[in-house]
Amino acid sequence: MTFTTPLTRDGDSLVGPSRSPVQMLADQSYDDHLSVHDEATAGSLGLSGAPIEGPTHFSQFDPIGFELWGQHWFESGCISSHFSTMVVEGQQVRAHATTTGPTSASITAVRDDDATVLTGTLSIAPHPTTALEERLANRRDPGELFIVDQLSEGMVSSAPLQTSMDLATSNGALYPFSLQRKLEGITERSPWYDTKDNPWGRPIVPLEMLSVLANKVGERWPIRQPSLGLFLDLEVRLEGTPVFVDETYIVEREVVGLSASRRVESYWTRSTLTEKSSGRHAATMLLHSGVFKDSFPDYPADKLA
């Protein structure tokens, strides 16, 4: 058994235990300034605390995915999530999933005060329409943009990038922690992450770390600065194989949508990971990133809600 996480079954639903996720981005920086995950910076935006990075919550769904589908979860599993309420260190979260078909489930994560942290879908191949595929397809015209206005749908990264992840090395300014440090604080521990004791005979990267692997390298999209952003939605999909520790991958990115709401302008990026040694498509990430309008000093005052 890869997890010892106690799960409660209620009909077609599985519920995980309450967990307290750990904040690991307090020292994150990009574009020469701290991020919204810094307490003081979060406070400047009127937030009640520095939010824990959304993908951290994905690990609470891994035991559920494994319970439903076994090792297939780590080969073709997909978690597709809309983040609705932030979590700060010290708060507890529970993961819930209800099966909707033989290869799919709807999910929610709920904070200890009953606030909904995220909603979305879990699935394995063959996948039905995911939560974020539906959100992307149904987005509204963003209108005039002032922060992400240099982006356009179909924009691609200038060149393929190489990325890899070992246990000991920090993942840079955007993710100032190593995989080993993450595993010391991860909510659901598995020996499959740092030993060869698994069906593939080599350590696998946790799903919550795939966005780190894809986003830690290369130049960022041209977003007007200074401004502060956060993840609004994220989908991570394995394409028939786990992503392995100490393996080199090619990353390619494309802007696939632009959006806006009362407080943020936003953009959707699809990233692919391809195993360099074999040319095998390993994973796809769909990330919806928001940028706070009031964090950009030159935002037109009459356009702020």
For residue 31, what pLDDT is reported? 53
Q: Is the dihedral of CA 201, 66, 240, 178 positive or negative?
A: negative
pTM: 0.93
> pLDDT band at residue 51, thresholds of 50, 70 and 90?
confident
Q: Give per-residue pLDDT as tens, 126-148.
A: 999 999 999 999 999 999 999 99
**pLDDT value of residue 38:** 45
Q: How far, in Å, CA of 185 to CA of 159, rounded? A: 34
Averaged pLDDT, 46-50:
57
Question: What local confidence, expressed as pLDDT, does residue 59 receive?
Answer: 98
Structural contact between residues 145 and 265, judged by C-beta atoms closer than 8 angstroms: yes
pLDDT at 217: 93
At residue 35, does pLDDT exceed 50?
Answer: no
Confidence bin at 161 (pLDDT 50/70/90): very high
Query: pLDDT tens digits for 244-279?
Result: 999 999 999 999 999 999 999 999 999 999 999 999
Strand order in the sheet with 116-123: 8-10, 13-15, 93-101, 104-111, 116-123, 78-83, 229-238, 281-292, 264-275, 249-260, 161-163
The counts of H helices and E strands in the chain are: 6, 13
Contact between 192 and 203 (Cβ < 8 Å): yes
Residue 33: is its pLDDT beyond 50?
Answer: no
What is the per-residue pLDDT for 89?
87
What mean pLDDT is reported for the chain? 92
Q: How far are the Cα atoms of 25, 195, 203 from residue 200, in angstroms, in the given order?
A: 31, 10, 8
For 74-115, how does the pLDDT look when each residue is reduced to its tens digit (9 = 90+)? Answer: 999 999 999 999 999 899 999 999 999 999 999 999 999 999
What is d(CA 46, CA 36) in angstroms, rounded to the nearest whole number?
11
Segment 281-292, tens digit of pLDDT: 999 999 999 999
Q: What is the mean pLDDT of residues 35-42?
A: 47
Is pLDDT of 50 > 80?
Answer: no
Query: What does the alpha-carbon distance between residue 253 and residue 41 come to, in Å, rounded to a whole number?
Result: 28
Q: Can you read off the two tokens belonging to residue 223? A: 């977003």
The CATH number that domain 8-303 falls under is 3.10.129.10
